[in-house]
Amino acid sequence: MATTDFTENKILRSPRAPINVPNISLSQFLTLSLEKYGDKPIMISPDKSLSYTANDILLRSRRFASALIRRGLKPGDVFCICTSNNVHFASVMLGAISAGAVITLGKPTDKSEELRFRLELTDATYLLVEKKNLEKSREAFVHLPKLQEILTLEKTEGCPSFMELVEEDDGSAFTGSPKIDPKVTPLVLPFSSGTTGLPKAIIHTHFSFLASIVNMTHPTVWNFSSEDVVLGMYPFCHIGGFLILNIAMAEGLTMSVVPCYESDLFLEVIEKHKSL
């Protein structure tokens, strides 16, 4: 059987300039990016009542990383974020990956058995949910011996929360992200749509995910400036929304974060923030 002759004239090449993907972790990449933007607002709520600058995100993510380390999180542990879009998501995500966690994404609309399926398939050890979804998370927790702890986003009686941890921790337990090989170390485990069967967890390494960010922000295709306001409505629990969130952080865009699509709110936010 003849072998294919992969000569130079049979290779299709893009007319655009090649990209250079940095061989570092996503946490290092985002930290270096955010340090450039200082007190510029990055995450804002639709009514502008909450706003977090690049410096705020860096501080809160370090405190959260420190708190997770104190609570026993080890590099490679899977941390599931199962919330609707919110202005704290960036700090939660960056804090968890800075501590060495692998992120998996849960849909806040999942039923208890659907959430359990995601957690079991990814061997998740930590789960962060909104207060309103705590009860169904506890139902899933009973059947998952590897799941060590549930946290809530908001302050909740009888349950540790992100808000409490970033207020109480001084960040000293976090001394820097673990050394990894970005090309082989998993970063995020998003789920497939399940078209041909049950949804499957897909592995994105730090390097492969950074390649997506660098490709999307290449000067030949990127049409935004750091002065632009973008609409954060695409669900962060979907890999597309997760990518857009990370691009906003990397490029210093201000993101007006909307929990979910509602037509009136959608139009109101575009008008109020002049969002793109």
Tens digit of each residue's pLDDT (9 = 90 or more) over 71-110:
999 999 999 999 999 999 999 999 999 999 999 999 999 9
Residue 220 falls inside a structural domain = yes
Residue 12 falls inside a structural domain = no
Task: List the beta bridge partners of residue 128.
Answer: 81, 151
- CA–CA separation, 83 and 103 (whole Å): 13
Q: Where is pLDDT greater, at 166 or 48?
A: 166
At residue 44, the 3 state secondary structure works out as: strand
- CA–CA separation, 119 and 133 (whole Å): 15
Q: What is the mean pLDDT of residues 174-190?
A: 97
Residue 92 falls inside a structural domain = yes
pLDDT bucket at 152, cuts 50 / 70 / 90: very high
How many structural domains comprise the chain? 1
Nearest 10 degrees: CA dihedral of 126, 80, 201, 107?
140
Q: What is the pLDDT of residue 1?
A: 47
Out of 59-68, 98-107, 211-220, which region has the weakest mean confidence (pLDDT)? Answer: 211-220
User: In 3D, which of 93, 89, 115 has the Cα closest to residue 29?
Assistant: 93
CB atoms within 10 A of CB 245: 22
Residue 7 falls inside a structural domain = no
Task: List the beta bridge partners of residue 44.
Answer: 51, 256
Q: What is the pLDDT of residue 5?
A: 60
Residue 164 falls inside a structural domain = yes
User: Tokens standing for 243?
Assistant: 């990518």
Task: List the beta bridge partners of residue 80.
Answer: 104, 127
Residue 3 falls inside a structural domain = no
Residue 17 falls inside a structural domain = no
CATH code, domain with 225: 3.40.50.12780
Q: Is the confidence at residue 125, as pLDDT, over 50?
A: yes
Q: HEC string of 205-266?
A: EHHHHHHHHHHHCCCCCCCCCCCCEEEECCCCCCHHHHHHHHHHHHHCCEEEECCCCCHHHH
pLDDT bucket at 266, cuts 50 / 70 / 90: confident
Out of 33-42, 182-191, 211-220, which region has the weakest mean confidence (pLDDT)? Answer: 211-220
Give residue 90's domain range.
22-273
Q: What is the mean pLDDT of residues 30-43?
A: 97
Tokens 């003849």, residue?
2
User: Tokens standing for 24?
Assistant: 């570092």
Do residues 207 and 182 touch, judged by C-beta distance below 8 A? yes
Residue 16 falls inside a structural domain = no
